[in-house]
């Protein structure tokens, strides 16, 4: 994606007049689990019996039903065009154990989109990334690197916090968290789809560098997963060149 492009325009380019409403999956859910869910969802739609699905839904709240069975029931419920099916998924999501929370969140999102599509008579497009989002904003994990081998000073840390908050706020974006370790900085932030995400972070880095040119121009940005400092150092050790472009392969 070019620096002056944004995701919103790119999606309209892909879907054209077929695009109705864009829905961002807000939860942070592992990409592999999302792939498993949507593959099963596609399979269970074949020969689906809404009456049978509604009848089987009672098993969701039974301790005797195993996890595999409950996952299939949730995927089937999400394919039933009835408000009652949505309410059942919603009720289960509220009490779901930790190992079923993400799966039930995906079912709830799919069911919600299907009902909206039916009631509003327009296509619904799900934007799903590993880090999720908030409203019409996508969440990004960014890694910054100091130019010097010396650890960032307390003053430099304050500059990063202040300038990133200032610049992102100017672009209707939000810094959710900033962490430091030696010469590394990680930033978790949400950015609207209609903002050129690469340009937003470049602007923030430039503002920081007005106070001493202490950050590298290149940076890592992903919407797939949050990385530990250990993982980041391992990646940098085996990488000679950092491409400061967003990782978008899991947007759709």
Q: Where are the domains positioned within the chain?
A: 30-127, 133-237
CA distance 116 to 127: 15
Paired residues of 188 in beta bridges: 141, 177
Beta 137-145 vs 133-134: how paired, if at all?
Answer: antiparallel
CA distance 186 to 176: 11
1, 33, 101, 161, 187 from 5: Cα distances, Å = 6, 29, 35, 26, 22
**pLDDT for residue 17 is more than 70:** no
Paired residues of 221 in beta bridges: 142
For 104-115, give one letter per residue: b (16+ CB within 10 A) or e: bbbbbbbbbbbb
133-237: CATH architecture: 2-Layer Sandwich (3.30)
Q: Provide the 3-class DSSP secondary structure of residue 128.
A: coil
**pLDDT for residue 248 is more than 70:** no
CA distance 12 to 238: 37
Question: Which of 28-32, 42-46, 63-67, 243-247 has the weakest average pLDDT?
Answer: 243-247
pLDDT at residue 128 in the model: 84
**pLDDT tens track for 123-141:** 777 888 999 999 889 999 9
């Amino acid at each position: 994606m070019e620096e002056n492009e944004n995701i919103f325009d790119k999606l309209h380019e892909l879907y054209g007049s077929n695009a109705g409403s864009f829905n961002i999956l807000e939860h942070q859910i592992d990409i592999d689990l999302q792939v498993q869910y949507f593959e099963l969802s596609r399979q269970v739609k074949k020969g689906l019996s809404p009456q049978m699905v509604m009848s089987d839904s009672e098993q969701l709240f039974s301790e005797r039903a195993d996890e595999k069975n409950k996952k299939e029931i949730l995927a089937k419920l999400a394919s039933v065009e009835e408000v009652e099916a949505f309410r059942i998924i919603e009720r289960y999501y509220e009490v779901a154990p930790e190992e079923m929370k993400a799966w039930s969140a995906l079912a709830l999102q799919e069911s919600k989109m299907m009902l909206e599509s039916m009631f509003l008579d327009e296509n619904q497009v799900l934007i799903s990334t590993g880090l999720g989002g908030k409203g019409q904003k996508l969440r990004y994990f960014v890694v910054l690197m100091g130019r010097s081998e010396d650890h960032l000073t307390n003053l430099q840390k304050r500059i990063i916090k202040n300038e990133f908050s200032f610049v992102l706020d100017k672009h209707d974006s939000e810094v959710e968290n900033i962490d430091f370790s030696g010469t590394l900085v990680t930033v978790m932030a949400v950015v609207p789809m209609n903002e050129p995400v690469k340009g937003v972070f470049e602007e923030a880095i430039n503002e920081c560098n007005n106070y001493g040119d202490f950050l590298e121009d290149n940076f890592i940005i992903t919407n797939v997963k949050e990385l530990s400092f250990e993982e980041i150092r391992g990646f940098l050790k085996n990488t000679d060149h950092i491409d400061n472009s967003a990782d978008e392969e899991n947007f759709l």
